[in-house]
Amino acid sequence: MRIPSFPTALYRQLGGKIPSRTLKLKRSPLVVSRQVRWNSAGPSQKEITVEGKTYKTDSWMNTPSSILDAIPRRLHTQPDHPLTITRQLIESRFPGYKTHNNLFPIVTTQQNFDSLGFPPDHVGRSRTDTYYVNKDTVLRTHTSAHQADTFRKNEADAYLISADVYRRDAIDRSHYPVFHQMEGARTWDRRAAEKQGKTLAQIIWEDVAKIPKHDVKVEDPNPTIHPERNPLQEGHSADETEAIAAHLKRSLEDVVVAIFNAAKTASDAGFAAADEPLKVRWVEAYFPFTSPSWELEVFWQGDWLEVLGSGIVQQSILNHASVPNRVGWAFGIGLERIAMLLYSIPDIRLFWSNDKRFLSQFSASSPIKRFVPFSKYPACFKDVSFWLRTLSSAAGGASPTPAPGASTTASFHENDVMEIAREVCGDVVEDVRLTDEFVHPKTGRRSMCYRVNYRHLERTLTNEETNDLHEKFRQQLVDKLGVELR
């Protein structure tokens, strides 16, 4: 569940406050980094300090200073920010759930991967996908990095975690390397049911009856349990699983109905067709930390849209968290994705804007209104073509030392191109797309061509600015990836 966020390259201030020709990075005073290198070829600095916490670095370090500079922003806690309003709307549908909104984003690989059962060769562990500080430390790629710890503390039967998460990703209007997720979980203690002289399923069904009813059409054609597609976990009874699944689905349907009713009642009559009935459907899914698992989709403005993922928590996670008597469900949802739907925000970079023309349109004390674009500045497209290094492959991700999911030979990964574009051009780059590739029939060399769309959110870029940025981008591709420009 994702969706990203952005000032320029995550903290470059766009919009006249910094000279447009220089576009220099404005660092947060809370973040100190030294000689940060960020391409997947590997850095060499000794340590970094983030908000008073110091971390040793090694050859796995691939986190740029622009990403570290995003940590203090915490957009999901800023008053009247659209992400905060979205978070609060969802939280309001879970009365009594304990909320966690300030968990620190630098975690161990054990927390981020091992505690959730990610296999050693899972692609998510690759340095082409994940920001590493050192071999054993990463910037969390999902809020589930805190799941086992939260279960272990056992402070409440139910919780919600909202946080900024980090992934190396494509550049377009709906993806960014920093975005915000919310996850929630509800568990029950078998021993509590025994003390009441009831079965666990009875206790859960009583809780299901307390969830608000809705009149939205729900499509749920598949059985709760399927031996191949959605298997029952060992140690779970079918009755318990049916009850947990019902509580999960009714709870999350209630959230989605609240979200989309809020969208439909936006003051702008054109936001959604008033007579378009809301429809939702449950789709079987697979996640390594839940089984059975489902995605919830909503029919919205003529198309089915994935909204969240969910499932019954793998018992092994609860067992390893020292709460083996508990069973329950969990879900995850992308806050940017929901906020973009609620407010009809067209570009994910806007969430990071400090422009009053953007921020003044949102208030927690006012009804949700459709975002009104304050301007649309022209795009500028430029291409860059290059030959990859010999032995390179467009499927790899090199490491100075073998890393999970990475080739031990010189290699190329598209996320490296995206990272360079963000670091050089900041939020001035709106989109980067592969437009052509071919292999030379005689030499076997591979050529790639990317089209870069430069567009400032707050003013018109000059040709001089764009040409300067593009030339720096081209040169960094050579310096960092060893490609040969065409």
Identify whether residues 51 and 187 lie together within a single domain.
yes
Report if residue 6 sits inside a domain: no
Where does residue 402 rank: exposed (0-12), middle (13-18), buried (19+ CB within 10 A)?
A: exposed
Identify whether residues 178 and 250 lie together within a single domain.
yes
Residues 6 or more apart whose Cβ sits within 8 Å of residue 112:
130, 138, 140, 141, 142, 145
Identify whether residues 333 and 262 lie together within a single domain.
yes
User: Which strand ranges, in their side-by-side order, compose the sheet holding 484-485?
Assistant: 429-439, 446-454, 380-387, 484-485
**What does the block give as tokens for 257?**
């109905």
Identify whether residues 344 and 387 lie together within a single domain.
no
Q: In this structure, which amino acid lies at residue 128?
A: T
User: Residue 171 — pLDDT band, cuts 50, 70, 90?
Assistant: confident
Q: In this structure, which amino acid lies at residue 253?
A: E
Quote the percentage of the chain above a pLDDT of 90. Answer: 66
Report if residue 233 sits inside a domain: yes
User: Residue 20 — pLDDT band, cuts 50, 70, 90?
Assistant: very low
Identify whether residues 387 and 347 lie together within a single domain.
no
Where does residue 367 rank: exposed (0-12), middle (13-18), buried (19+ CB within 10 A)?
A: exposed
Alpha-carbon distance values, 262 to 180, 253, 271, 305 (Å): 20, 14, 11, 17
Average the pLDDT over 11-18 and give the result.
Answer: 29
68 within 8 A of 48, measured Cβ to Cβ: yes
Report if residue 365 sits inside a domain: no
Task: Tally the domains of the chain.
Answer: 2
Cα 34 from Cα 173, distance rounded (Å): 31
- The strand pairing partners of 433, in sequence order, are 451
Identify the H or E element spanning 245.
helix 238-264
Query: How much is the pLDDT for 407?
Result: 32
Average the pLDDT over 374-396 and give the result.
Answer: 75
Report if residue 346 sits inside a domain: yes
Query: How much is the pLDDT for 45?
Result: 59
Q: How many residues are present in the chain?
A: 486
Identify the H or E element spanning 423.
helix 414-425
Identify whether residues 255 and 304 lie together within a single domain.
yes
DSSP per residue over 218-240, as a string? EE--S-S-BTTTBPPPTT--HHH
Average the pLDDT over 410-425 and give the result.
Answer: 86
Cα 335 from Cα 108, distance rounded (Å): 24
Cα 175 from Cα 347, distance rounded (Å): 9
pLDDT digits (tens, 9 = 90+) for 296-325: 999 887 889 999 999 999 999 999 999 999
Q: What's the pTM?
A: 0.81
Q: In this structure, which amino acid lies at residue 37?
A: R
Query: How much is the pLDDT for 24?
Result: 31
Give the residue from 453, 461, 263, 275 showing the smallest Cα distance to 371: 263
Q: Beta strands of 135-270 (E only): which ranges?
A: 137-139, 158-166, 178-189, 217-219
Query: How much is the pLDDT for 391?
Result: 56
Where does residue 460 rank: exposed (0-12), middle (13-18), buried (19+ CB within 10 A)?
A: exposed
Identify whether residues 300 and 435 lie together within a single domain.
no
Residues 6 or more apart whose Cβ sits within 8 Å of residue 64:
36, 37, 38, 419, 422, 423
Cα 99 from Cα 390, distance rounded (Å): 51
Report if residue 368 sits inside a domain: no
Report if residue 369 sits inside a domain: no
Identify whether residues 265 and 224 lie together within a single domain.
yes
Domain at 431, CATH number: 3.30.70.380
pLDDT digits (tens, 9 = 90+) for 250-296: 999 999 999 988 887 764 444 444 567 789 999 999 998 899 999 99
User: Residue 172 — pLDDT band, cuts 50, 70, 90?
Assistant: confident
Identify whether residues 100 and 238 lie together within a single domain.
yes
Query: How much is the pLDDT for 275?
Result: 61
In whole numbers, what is the pLDDT of the chain averaged over residues?
85
Cα-atom radius of gyration of the chain, to the nearest Å?
24
Given a cut of 80, whether residue 402 has pLDDT beyond it is: no
Report if residue 42 sits inside a domain: no
pLDDT digits (tens, 9 = 90+) for 352-381: 999 999 999 999 999 898 999 887 888 899
pLDDT digits (tens, 9 = 90+) for 191-222: 999 999 999 999 999 999 999 999 999 999 99
Report if residue 116 sits inside a domain: yes
Return the higher-pLDDT residue of 4 and 441.
441
Domain at 244, CATH number: 3.30.930.10
Query: How much is the pLDDT for 226?
Result: 96
CA 168 vs. chain centroid, Å, equals 10
Residue-number span of the structural domain to which 104 is assigned = 47-360
Identify whether residues 417 and 268 lie together within a single domain.
no
Alpha-carbon distance values, 331 to 133, 214, 291, 293, 311 (Å): 28, 20, 12, 9, 7
Identify whether residues 346 and 445 lie together within a single domain.
no
Cα 402 from Cα 384, distance rounded (Å): 30
Identify whether residues 253 and 142 lie together within a single domain.
yes
User: Residue 403 — pLDDT band, cuts 50, 70, 90?
Assistant: very low
Cα 104 from Cα 186, distance rounded (Å): 22
pLDDT digits (tens, 9 = 90+) for 450-470: 999 998 888 888 889 999 999
Query: How much is the pLDDT for 406?
Result: 36
